[in-house]
Each structure stands twice: as structure tokens, then as C-alpha cells.
Amino acid sequence: MKILVPVKRVVDAYVKIRVKPDGSGLELANVKMSINPFDEIAIEEAVRLKEKGLATEVVVVSVGPAKSQEALRSAMAIGGDRGILVETAETDVIEPLAVAKILKAIADIEKPALVLMGKQAIDDDCNQTGQMLAALLGWPQGTFASKIAIDGGVIHVTREVDGGLETVKLKTPAIVTTDLRLNEPRYPTLPNIMKAKKKPLEIKTAADYGVNLAPRLKVLKTTEPPVRKAGIKVGSVAELVAKLKTDAGVL
């Protein structure tokens, strides 16, 4: 079974986000970038399935600027066998639908039994690409996976829903998006980092797959959230109720 794992290069999860002074977007100059955390979980799960003998090859793919090669090399250091970079310009805004169309074209060529991907990227929080890809391919999907079990050509996905856990049964080929509690990604070892530098990495463009990257949405302005005001202490329940009525206006 071949597994396709899309990864995205995003601002590191531990970096404080700053908005450009003119409000045109986020400040990305000299900012640490890394693999989207949910995608790291997807890579780890794919590698674990391969280690169990349930997968034969793990192919990692990314859509982004040339610097996204770093994310792909990191993914291959974790255990990916080869990578595909669909290179775009630094200034291009890539929307989920465009990514889904590119992934569909790659899936048509690679013919994976499973596309395993993060449920969302932490930069835009769209949570759309997996669902759009499933619709374009006409494949079954299991989202927000907290547990994955494979039995022959059937994938059992335990997913997190508002009321608790739900288990769905998918026939391959299928799309599965990963949630935080699926696993704990490993740290790549130095030997694996060195090996990843020699693994094959194919460079493509969106035009190679017949996809137009022109955005359908326009961001008018980006602003930081308002600074949270300091709380106050009240001396009694009556004073609390009064504050909620007059100041907060919630009662």
C-alpha cells in the first residue's frame, strides 16, 4: 500500500505572530518556519504503518516556495521515502481548493491507497483541503482521526466529534485527516537526517498538473486581536451581578 502525505511549511508553532505595519499580512521575514504540526502527525502515522508492514512506500508532497524543500527533507528524515515539491513563487497565495486540485492530479498519477494529511494548517486554520480532495477524487474520508487501524483493504478510523468518539469504516483508496491525539511524532536522528538529503525529490509546478493558482479570495486587511483588558476583583456576589449587568451587559 502506498501512502501519500501532504505537508505544509508554516510559521513555527512557538513563534509569536506579528502583523505587518501596513496591515497587508503577516511578517514572515527572518521568522522560523517548520512543518505544520498536524502534518508531522500524519507523517509519523504513515511511517508507523510502514514499520508494521501495512504500507510499502510513503510519498511526501508539498505545495509552496523553494524553501519548502526543507520541510520535505525533514519529512523524509522522519521516514518518508521520496518527495514531490510543487514549487510556487514566494508571493503566491495558495488557497485550499488549488492545493486540493494539485493533490488530486498527483493522486491520479501516484495511485496511493491512502492519503494521510493533517486536519488543518495552523497558519490559516481552514480545515478544507482534505474534504475538498475527497470530493474531487470521489473517495471516502475520515476526518479528525485519533486512531487508525487497517484490516486488508478496510481502514477503521476513530474520529473525535462533539459528543465523544465515532468510528467509521472506509474502503481504500481513502482520505484520512489527523488530529492531535493520534500519536506523538518522533525526532529524526542525525543518520536519518543525512540519509534524507540523498532521497529523491522531484520538483514540479502547478502548470505541470494543469492547475491555476489565481486566488478566488482577496484579503482586505490583517489586524491583531485587541489586547485583553485586565480583570477586576469584586467584594460580593451582588457586586458581581451588578458588574455583569451594567459593565459586561451579559445579564
Domain ranges of the chain: 2-248
- Measured CA distances, 140 to 131, 134, 176 (Å): 10, 6, 9
Pairing mode, strands 114-118 and 174-178: parallel
Segment 60-66 shows an average pLDDT of: 93
* Cα torsion 95, 97, 103, 106: sign: negative
CB atoms within 10 A of CB 127: 16
Segment 174-192 shows an average pLDDT of: 93
- Cell triple for 18: 506579528
In this prediction, residue 84 carries a pLDDT of: 96
- Cell triple for 231: 480583570
Segment 30-34 shows an average pLDDT of: 86
For 7-28, the pLDDT digits (tens) are: 999 988 888 888 888 877 787 8
In this prediction, residue 218 carries a pLDDT of: 85
In this prediction, residue 251 carries a pLDDT of: 63
pLDDT at residue 86 greater than cutoff 80: yes
Q: How far apart are CA 16 and CA 29, in angstroms?
A: 13
Which residues have C-beta within 8 Å of that of residue 155, sequence separation ≥ 6? 114, 142, 148, 149, 169, 170, 171, 172, 174, 176
Q: Which range, of 26-30, 34-38, 55-59, 196-200, averages the lowest pLDDT?
A: 26-30
Q: Which range, of 7-16, 45-54, 140-149, averages the lowest pLDDT?
A: 7-16
In this prediction, residue 40 carries a pLDDT of: 95
pLDDT at residue 46 greater than cutoff 90: yes
Segment 40-65 shows an average pLDDT of: 94
DSSP-derived letter for residue 3 is E
Segment 157-165 shows an average pLDDT of: 88
Q: Dihedral of the CA atoms 237, 238, 241, 246 (nearest 10)?
A: -140
In this prediction, residue 125 carries a pLDDT of: 87
Rg (CA), the chain: 21
Segment 189-199 shows an average pLDDT of: 94
Using the structure block, give the residue that is written with the C-alpha cell 525529490: 201
Segment 81-98 shows an average pLDDT of: 89
Q: Are 30 and 82 in contact (CB under 8 A)?
A: no
Task: Round the average pLDDT of the chain to a whole number and report it.
Answer: 90
Q: How far apart are CA 124 and CA 11, in angstroms?
A: 11
Q: Where are the beta strands (DSSP E) in the chain?
A: 2-7, 9-11, 33-35, 57-64, 82-87, 114-118, 141-151, 154-161, 164-171, 174-178, 201-205
Q: Which range, of 49-53, 193-197, 247-251, averages the lowest pLDDT?
A: 247-251
* CATH code for the domain defined by 2-248: 3.40.50.620
Pairing mode, strands 2-7 and 57-64: parallel
Q: Are 165 and 146 in contact (CB under 8 A)?
A: yes
In this prediction, residue 26 carries a pLDDT of: 81
For 165-176, the pLDDT digits (tens) are: 999 999 999 999
pLDDT at residue 239 greater than cutoff 70: yes
Segment 71-86 shows an average pLDDT of: 94
DSSP result, 26-43: B--TT--EEE-HHHHHHH
- Measured CA distances, 187 to 74, 166, 193 (Å): 10, 30, 10
- Cell triple for 71: 520541510
